A and B are shown apart, each in its own frame.
Chain A
Amino acid sequence: MKRDNRLWNPVWWERYTIFVLLFGHLIWVFLGKQADSIWLSTSDLFTRPVVSISAKWENWRYDRLNKMKSLENAQKELDDNRTELAKLRLERQRDSARLMEADEAVNLLGLKKLLPIEMQASRIIANNREAKFGGIVIDLGEAHGIKADQGVICAEGVVGRIWAVGKSQSIVLPLDAYNASTSVMLARSRATGVLQGDNPGLAEIRYISNQETVQNGEPVYTSSLDNVFPKALLVGYVSEVSPGPIEMEIVVTLAAPLDRLGLLFVLPSNPQLEFNTKFEIPPSISKRDGK
């Protein structure tokens, strides 16, 4: 009995219970896999509220993250676009000068096709026309066969004549220089006179009688009397006309944009003074008439 009491007292009961707990769990771990589904299904009932709350919480975080990401992406795209726009603007600025020169070259090419004379193309190096005794410096000189008093034209009209010639550069005396004189002819009245420079972009026609009828806007052409320019090259348009004491005072606005020139043509020393403007019947028409 003494031995029994030793084994069946509360302390041993406690130990038995712990042993049963441990042993039961061991058996459960190794053999009790099948019963887990019951536990899980009953636990669903209790975990649902927590799961729904946590799902809402996670969704909110996910949405916020997405919003922030899309905002960041949009900001990045905007920055990229701004950079690209700035780059394009810079490129356009760089290209604008070349584009302008290309346009000018196209115009000159058209002019060259129209005029049946040999001309030398030149580029303007400096334009100090506004300075005293200034002029337009071009990149052709003695080395290129340039001589003084050769005519210089651009696509829009007459520019001036060669004034001084260096080895590889020359100075052009523009039409609006005070010491420049060119023989010109009015388009309607056919009256001839001498064009002398006045102000920038303007010139006066001298030696035209008060008897002549001159109208504003009338074109002014070269007359070829100075042996520099061929006949009928556009010089400008009459902008002011008034009768003077001895002769008519005529102000001409020059056709050539002397401030914005880039490329020029230098005419030959002794140009053909009149072009063959005789109307020729195209061969196809003449053949048809022959039939």
Chain B
Amino acid sequence: MSRPIVQMRYLLMIALSGLGAMYLFAPWPGPQAVIHVFIVLGIAPELRKPLHCALLAAVAGWILEIAFRTYSGMGGTPLGNMICALLLWYSLSIGPPEKPFVYYLQVALAAVLHSALVYLFVSIASGPHILGYEWEWVLVLFPLWGPVAWRFYRPPHMRR
């Protein structure tokens, strides 16, 4: 399950860049949501360690909520992020998919679950709110960010 240090640094650098981009993309919620989901479901589970996975997901959630600055109560997004990222990490650990289609299916399902969970927790934390169109951005642009996530995941038979 562990990755070489070089690959880990590479992944961390990408994650940090993504976090910065997510913060700067605050005025454009659609693209920001895509970057956010990519970090949570595409990069966090690839860190291989559940603690790292949960930490990155939580940080991404907090940065998103701080960047938005419209939440009356915060913490819902990081909680949803952590649960989804850990579930996907677990799913990928117990049965690592060998083919891209299976991986894409799992990630897409996780993206849908992520939208629902985040909506639920943000509703609890800050009260009822409108479900935006960010989840549509995420699903529509999945053919774009899904293959990139698959490239980071690399199935077991391709790992050195």
Contacts and interface: CB of A to CB of B under 8 A. Distances in A.
Q: Which of B51, B73, B75, B82 has the most CB of A within 10 A?
A: B75
Interface string A12-31: 00110110011001101110
A47 B26 contact: yes
Contacts of B67: 43, 47
B108 interface: no
B75 A25 contact: yes
Contact of B125 (A18, A21, A29, A47): A29
Interface in B51-108: 51, 54-55, 58, 66-67, 69, 71-76, 78-79, 82-83, 86
| Interface band, chain A | 20 to 34
Given A33-B73, A39-B66, A18 B50 contact: yes
A44 B82 contact: no
B27 A14 contact: no
A22 B82 contact: yes
Given A22-B79, A39-B66, A47-B67, A29 B121 contact: yes
A40 interface: yes
A17 B82 CA distance: 13
Nearest to B123: A29
B48 to A, nearest CB: 12
A50 B73 contact: no
Contact of A50 (B27, B124, B126): B27
Given A33-B72, A40-B69, A44-B69, A18 B124 contact: no
Given A29-B73, A39-B74, A50 B24 contact: yes
Contacts of B3: none
Interface residues of B, number: 29
Contacts of B73: 29, 32-33, 36
B50 A36 contact: no
Nearest to B62: A39
Given A30-B124, A51-B27, A57-B27, A21 B55 contact: yes
Contacts of B66: 39-40, 43, 46-47
B151 interface: no
Contacts, number: 75
A54 interface: yes
A166 B124 CA distance: 104
Contact of A43 (B27, B69, B76, B79): B69
Nearest to A37: B72
B49 interface: yes
A29 B76 contact: yes
Given A44-B69, A47-B69, A26 B79 contact: yes
B49 A25 contact: no
Interface in A186-239: none
A271 B124 CA distance: 111
A14 B71 contact: no
A21 B27 contact: no
A22 B72 CA distance: 21
A17 B58 CA distance: 13
Given A17-B51, A18-B86, A50-B27, A25 B79 contact: yes
A47 B51 CA distance: 29
Contacts of A58: 27
Nearest to A32: B75
Contact of A18 (B24, B54, B79): B54
Interface of A: 14-15, 17-18, 21-22, 25-26, 28-30, 32-33, 36, 39-40, 43-44, 46-47, 50-51, 53-54, 57-58
7 contacts: A28-B74, A29-B124, A33-B125, A43-B66, A47-B69, A50-B27, A53-B27
Interface of B: 23-24, 26-28, 49-51, 54-55, 58, 66-67, 69, 71-76, 78-79, 82-83, 86, 121, 124-126
Given A14-B50, A18-B50, A43-B67, 14 more contacts: A18-B86, A21-B58, A26-B79, A28-B75, A29-B73, A29-B121, A33-B125, A36-B72, A36-B74, A43-B69, A46-B23, A47-B23, A50-B24, A54-B27
Question: Which 9 A-B residue pairs are closest in the complex by CB-CB distance?
Answer: A54-B27, A28-B75, A25-B79, A33-B73, A43-B66, A29-B75, A29-B125, A14-B51, A36-B74
